[in-house]
């Protein structure tokens, strides 16, 4: 589990696009679009709203617009999509370390179970969107596989709680 979490944490920073679809839109802060009149924007950046290989279609559109182009924010929209990906990568890195240290193993296994369970919302959201109007056959396949993989990960993390600390024999020997 430690090796899996460490590899996955590294992937968050090497290939953050892999995780874009599983961050629900309602968690993502809707930053205001750059002002097109504020200078030269032709520095190789893609046209807003147009997907590129490096930046796929935005997973969820803004919830609503209220005058002057400002997007309504969901109360949980604290971070941008990229920030959520980085934070979850850091959490997985911390979990990789914590699961390897015997004194913190049981607490970390419980936290990993909760983390994988929380990630279910993103996987369900991604699967629903994959079957929506902007979904593609490729995304349907990817998310149809990713969602059920969460169940064995959750069970595995939970099972590590019971094997966290070996029992000590009376008299200090063990």
- Per-residue tens of pLDDT for the chain, all 174 residues: 999 999 999 999 999 999 999 999 888 888 766 656 655 444 444 433 434 344 343 444 444 333 344 456 777 788 999 999 999 999 999 999 999 999 999 999 999 999 999 999 999 999 999 999 989 999 999 999 999 999 999 999 999 998 655 555 566 554
Q: What is the Cα–Cα distance from 30 to 80, expressed in whole angstroms?
A: 7
- Provide the residue count of the chain: 174
Residue 84 lies in a domain: yes
The answer to the question of residue 17 being in a domain is yes
Burial class (CB in 10 A: 0-12, 13-18, 19+), 138: exposed
- Domain assignment present for residue 78? The answer is yes
Q: What confidence score (pLDDT) does residue 41 get? A: 45
pLDDT at 111: 96
Q: Is residue 141 part of a domain?
A: yes
Q: How many domains does the structure of the chain reveal?
A: 1
Residue among 116, 152, 134 at smallest CA distance from 21? 134
97 domain-assigned = yes
Instruction: Please indicate, yes or no, if residue 91 is contained in any of the structural domains.
Output: yes
- The verdict on residue 92 lying in a domain is yes
Range of the domain at 85: 2-28+69-162
């Amino acid at each position: 589990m430690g090796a899996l979490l460490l590899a996955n944490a590294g992937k968050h920073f090497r290939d953050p696009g892999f995780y874009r679809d599983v961050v629900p839109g309602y968690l993502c802060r809707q930053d205001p679009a750059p002002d097109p009149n504020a200078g030269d924007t032709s520095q190789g950046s893609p046209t807003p709203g147009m997907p590129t290989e490096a930046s796929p279609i935005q997973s969820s559109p803004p919830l609503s617009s209220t005058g002057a182009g400002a997007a309504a924010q969901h109360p949980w929209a604290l971070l941008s999509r990229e920030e959520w990906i980085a934070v979850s990568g850091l959490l997985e890195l911390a979990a990789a370390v914590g699961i390897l240290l015997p004194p913190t193993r049981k607490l970390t296994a419980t936290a990993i179970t909760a983390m994988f369970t929380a990630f279910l919302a993103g996987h369900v959201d991604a699967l629903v969107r994959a079957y929506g109007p902007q979904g593609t056959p490729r995304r349907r396949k990817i998310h149809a596989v990713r969602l059920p993989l969460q169940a064995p990960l959750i069970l595995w993390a939970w099972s590590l709680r019971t094997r966290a600390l070996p029992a000590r024999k009376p008299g200090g020997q063990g």
